Amino acid sequence: MACIERASPALNQILLKLYSAEKPVEIDHHLYEFGSFKYHILCQACEPQVAYLSISTPPLCPGILTSNKLSSYTIELIKRLCPGVVEIAEATREGYQLTLRLNLTKIPRRNDYVKVIKEISTVHSVILSSQLKEILWNFNSDDAIKGMHKPIKLAYNPREPFFVIRQPPRIIAVFPIRFAEKSDVIISTAFFQELVDVGSLDKYTKAPPCSWSAIPPPELRGEAFEDLSTNGGFVSFDISAHHVDGKRLDKTVWNLLNFNAYVRFHVKTTKGFIQRRMRKRLENLVEVLHHTESEQDNEQITRHHGCSCTKGLLVKSSKYNILKQRWGNLGRKLKRIHFRVKIQGFGRFRQRWLRLPKFSSSRGYTKLG
């Protein structure tokens, strides 16, 4: 699923193609991805060892990150991505926030090149994760003194914002859930109940505790009405220091950013599963109705002269009718064949030898068994 994988599949594919091309290739691609990400990849034939990758992303939190430029922390993290291969270009392409200069000759030639290119393709996840980390670290000290922590609205996908509330020593992430169809709401609600159940097991004490409620949690009181009107309820995760410790920080941040997409993917696949199962069940139910073969084997059909006391079957054998129809059609086609060359006596030959066999009718006199 493209929106959950860290590496952008389209960018990965283009970079791999560029790297493995035998002759110099000119590339000038514009890509648009989930989360309103824009990429521009440029590689010119005159300079085949170098590619320029420009990136543009809307701010994760428009209220806090007012400047369109990336912060120094984000730039620092990007520099750590494959240091020998990726450099930040001095001149940024117009309309983009960042332009990277990729030196393709510095990518190792052995099996590691796939790993390196995949790491470069994760640049958008690095930018997003760093933005969320900064938001979580920098909080308004005035609010902390008063004891109020205003919810921060984050919009990875503009139509599905979520909230983050800092309440030391924990952070609460609240996801308002909205679906267009009622059936999606019910499937997702069943999923959230399972999520809460599994989260309460001993085995998953290390995972952040989650809860679901149909009404907005108290932490969101005072927020705009359109943000709080939902049909799928609210899912909350309690993130503690343990979940943002060291390497876990990246995973936690990425999982939170993609939670909505994960839920929608699950609902979509569940609907597909229900459809497949219904189709299979239909075949079984219809098979019961049309089942005749085993009944024909078991019954002895005896027809007597003058009357047809055939033991009726559940359904008139459809196979017999279909076969009879097909033979009839074939026979009519043969009769209509117009031969260009007229051969004397062929008509009689056709009538005598090319006649189609007649099947015995239900009123015929056939003794079986």
Q: How far is the CB of 139 from another protein (least distance, A)?
A: 23
- 230, 102, 134, 137: which is closest to 175 by C-alpha? 230
20 vs 318, beta carbon nearer another protein: 318
Scan for tokens 């839920």, then name that residue: 263
The contact pattern for another protein, residues 280-309, with x = CB under 8 A and - = no contact, is -xx--xx-xx--------------------
- 124, 132, 97: which is closest to 5 by C-alpha? 124
Residue 270 is a binding residue for another protein (CB under 8 A):
yes
Selected from 88, 148, 190, 214, the binder of another protein by CB under 8 A is 190
Return d(Cα 320, Cα 325) in angstroms, integer. Answer: 9
Selected from 13, 167, 183, 329, the binder of another protein by CB under 8 A is 183
Selected from 315, 322, 334, 356, the binder of another protein by CB under 8 A is 315
- 338, 293, 337: which is closest to 317 by C-alpha? 293
Selected from 46, 180, 224, 278, the binder of another protein by CB under 8 A is 278
In DSSP terms, 148 is beta-bridged to none
Q: Report phi then psi at 29, rounded to 5.
A: -110, 140
Return d(Cα 234, Cα 181) in angstroms, integer. Answer: 17
Q: How far is the CB of 7 from another protein (least distance, A)?
A: 16
| Ranges within 192-211 binding another protein (CB under 8 A) | 193-195, 197-199, 204, 206-208
Half-sphere exposure of 340 (CA within 13 A, CB side): 0
Q: How far is the CB of 239 from another protein (least distance, A)?
A: 9
8 vs 258, beta carbon nearer another protein: 258
Helical ranges in 122-162 per DSSP H: 123-137, 141-146
- Contact status, residue 166 vs residue 149, Cβ threshold 8 Å: yes
159 vs 279, beta carbon nearer another protein: 279
Residue 241 is a binding residue for another protein (CB under 8 A):
no
- Contact status, residue 25 vs residue 18, Cβ threshold 8 Å: yes
Selected from 2, 114, 313, 330, the binder of another protein by CB under 8 A is 313
Q: How far is the CB of 185 from another protein (least distance, A)?
A: 9
Tokens of 61: 């939190």
Q: Which stretch binds another protein (CB under 8 A): 134-142, 188-196, 216-224, 357-365?
A: 188-196
Return d(Cα 191, Cα 358) in angstroms, integer. Answer: 61
| Ranges within 11-70 binding another protein (CB under 8 A) | none
Strand order in the sheet with 210-213: 152-157, 160-167, 170-176, 234-239, 210-213
Selected from 144, 214, 301, 314, the binder of another protein by CB under 8 A is 314
Residue 274 is a binding residue for another protein (CB under 8 A):
yes
Q: How far is the CB of 285 from another protein (least distance, A)?
A: 6
- 96, 97, 105, 90: which is closest to 43 by C-alpha? 105
Residue 316 is a binding residue for another protein (CB under 8 A):
yes
Q: Which residues 6+ apart lie within 8 Å of 66 measured at CB?
A: 59
Interacting residue ranges for another protein, rule: CB under 8 A:
182-183, 186-187, 189-191, 193-195, 197-199, 204, 206-208, 243, 248, 251-252, 255, 262, 266, 270, 273-275, 277-279, 281-282, 285-286, 288-289, 312-316
